[in-house]
């Protein structure tokens, strides 16, 4: 007697068409994904463009201002590039030149950050009266001093004013009235006596230099 298994035939046919169904499902999900992504892409792209625009022109509200927004952007982005708190750079510039690009001292220091010719050349300043070049060299020098003195703001400022050799010679802030007053004024204006040595990305977070819009977009 032969056994009949009619229920296997439909099952076999189902398996036979399974690859076709899988391929169809693959194309369907990709096609719907394509249209879905296109539908939402404009808003995502707009958010990215908006964030980029804000980044280029953004300065935290608690960072001091020179009164010239273009100059403020130079100071902010230069400080950001070297991992230096722009608030400290502003405090130095305010004390050194009161934001006057053509300032010149009786000793021959020039520009916003009052760079002496030898120091300016040492840190790549090609024109001491050029705002961007002067701020770049001065900020780079300030970072170098902060690193040399392990983040001690007072010693770094003393060295900026009197030279690192003088700080080494006196094992601290030199006993010069001008230098001591210089350090006192800037540290009071900056409000901190320690500045961590960080790479630029770490500094952006540590010094709150990242716009809130960018933070929300990243999340």
* Active site residue ranges: 96
Enter the tokens of residue 119: 């120091």
d(CA 132, CA 136): 6
Long-range contacts (CB closer than 8 Å, 24 or more residues apart) made by 148-154: 150/197, 151/194, 151/195, 151/196, 151/197, 152/193, 152/194, 153/88, 153/187, 153/190, 153/192, 153/193, 153/194, 153/195, 154/183, 154/187, 154/193
Q: Within 10 A of 168 (CB to CB), how many other CB atoms are there?
A: 14
* Triad 76, 216, 42: Cα angle to 5°: 105
């Amino acid at each position: 007697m032969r056994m009949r298994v009619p229920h296997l035939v439909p099952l076999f046919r189902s398996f036979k068409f399974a690859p076709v169904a899988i391929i169809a499902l693959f194309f369907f999900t990709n096609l719907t994904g394509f249209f879905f992504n296109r539908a939402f892409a404009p808003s995502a792209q707009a958010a990215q463009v908006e964030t980029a625009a804000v980044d280029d022109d953004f300065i935290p509200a608690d960072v001091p201002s020179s009164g010239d927004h273009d100059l403020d952007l130079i100071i902010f982005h230069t400080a950001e590039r070297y991992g230096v708190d722009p608030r400290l750079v502003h405090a130095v510039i305010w004390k050194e030149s009161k934001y006057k690009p053509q300032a010149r001292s009786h000793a021959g220091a020039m520009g916003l950050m009052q760079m002496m010719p030898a120091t300016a050349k040492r840190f790549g300043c090609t024109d001491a009266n050029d705002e961007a070049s002067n701020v770049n060299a001065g900020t780079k020098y300030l970072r170098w001093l902060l690193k040399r003195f392990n983040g001690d703001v007072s010693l770094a400022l003393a060295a900026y004013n009197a030279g690192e050799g003088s700080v080494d010679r006196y094992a601290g802030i030199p006993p010069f009235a001008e230098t001591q007053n210089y350090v006192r004024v800037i540290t009071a204006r900056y409000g901190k006596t320690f500045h961590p040595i960080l790479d630029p990305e770490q500094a952006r977070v540590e010094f709150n230099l990242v716009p809130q819009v960018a933070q929300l977009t990243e999340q």
